[in-house]
């Protein structure tokens, strides 16, 4: 029963995590925002895993990147070889999302795409889950994401364009046993994405929900229990490529792999069959 960083790459550094405000790299800390011709993507959870892979994929197409996570050293590794700006932040801190958004907009003057990839998970029976861990999972996976979107969204609406990308999970669609709170947080993100999409109709700002299956990152090693289900894991690069295509094609919903749309639909169309399969395969 362990609280762990997810494949979305919210990677804690060694030792206690400092609660410090988001801040740009020193060279970018002062002066007016940089006026860029290139599109700007803010990627959270960019220390490793899906976030790092997504940042590299956007860099390949020449985007200006703003990379956020708690571990500056890992962020700088992700940024290596690119013009990315590193913005360390603790999104679980009360002012974390606001300070990160302020730093991002101060650095570049705008955010064209927000990829909200930071998250953690917890494995074990819900009845044994400490109350503090319930709060921590919900605080980062749900609350921090909503607050960050709230901080960045007005600038996108004012510009008349932009896209919010939320990293969901198949656990949020079907529910995964011994991942009840993580499943609840991801389900809430799915509902939030649909509601927000309706509100933003006609503004030029879109919302993409990425529903991924198990991803081959350090998530399972960190939680102290190996991945033991029958579904094959996918690579972070595969998810990053799908995120990139979704932004390029302005897609609202993406399943990775695509067949994961089937159990989600089966849950609605044939709930009894769905639950029998879920009881068998988890």
Which among 10, 182, 227, 255 is annotated as catalytic?
182
Range 265-270 contact pairs with CB under 8 angstroms and sequence separation of 24 or more: 267/173, 267/174
**Is the N-terminal amide bond of 179 cis, ω within 30° of 0?**
no
Residues 264/174, Cβ–Cβ less than 8 Å: yes
Within 8 A by CB and 6+ apart from 278, the residues are: 174, 175, 263
CB neighbourhood size of 54 (10 A) = 34
Residues 120/12, Cβ–Cβ less than 8 Å: no
Residue 104 has φ and ψ, to the nearest 5°, of: -65, -50
**Residues in a beta bridge with 209:** 166, 253
10 is catalytic: no
Within 8 A by CB and 6+ apart from 9, the residues are: 45, 46, 47, 48, 49, 50, 51, 52, 69, 117, 118, 217
Residues labelled as active-site residues? 182
């Amino acid at each position: 029963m362990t609280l762990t960083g997810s494949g979305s790459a919210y990677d804690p550094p060694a030792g206690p995590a400092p609660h410090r405000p988001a801040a740009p790299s020193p060279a970018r800390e002062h002066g007016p925002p940089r006026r860029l011709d290139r599109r700007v993507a803010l990627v959270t959870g960019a220390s490793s895993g899906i976030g790092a892979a997504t940042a590299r994929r956007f860099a390949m197409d020449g985007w200006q990147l703003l990379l956020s996570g708690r571990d500056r050293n890992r962020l700088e590794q992700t940024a290596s070889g690119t013009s990315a700006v590193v913005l360390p932040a603790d999104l679980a801190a009360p002012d974390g999302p606001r300070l990160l958004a302020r730093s991002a907009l101060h650095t570049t003057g705008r955010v064209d795409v927000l990829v909200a990839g930071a998250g953690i998970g917890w494995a074990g029976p819900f009845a044994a889950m400490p109350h503090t861990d319930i709060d921590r999972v919900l605080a980062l996976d749900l609350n921090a994401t909503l607050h960050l979107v709230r901080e960045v969204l007005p600038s996108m609406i004012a510009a008349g364009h932009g896209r919010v990308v939320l990293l969901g999970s198949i656990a949020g669609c079907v529910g995964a046993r011994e991942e009840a709170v993580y499943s609840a947080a991801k389900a809430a993100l799915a509902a939030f994405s649909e509601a927000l999409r309706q509100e933003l109709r006609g503004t030029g700002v879109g919302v993409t929900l990425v529903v991924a299956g198990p991803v081959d990152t350090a998530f399972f090693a960190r939680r102290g229990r190996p991945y033991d289900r029958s579904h094959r894991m996918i690579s972070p690069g595969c998810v990053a490529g799908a995120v990139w295509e979704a932004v390029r094609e302005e897609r609202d919903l993406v399943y990775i792999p695509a067949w994961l749309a089937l159990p989600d639909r089966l849950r609605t169309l044939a709930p009894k069959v769905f639950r029998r399969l879920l009881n068998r395969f988890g």
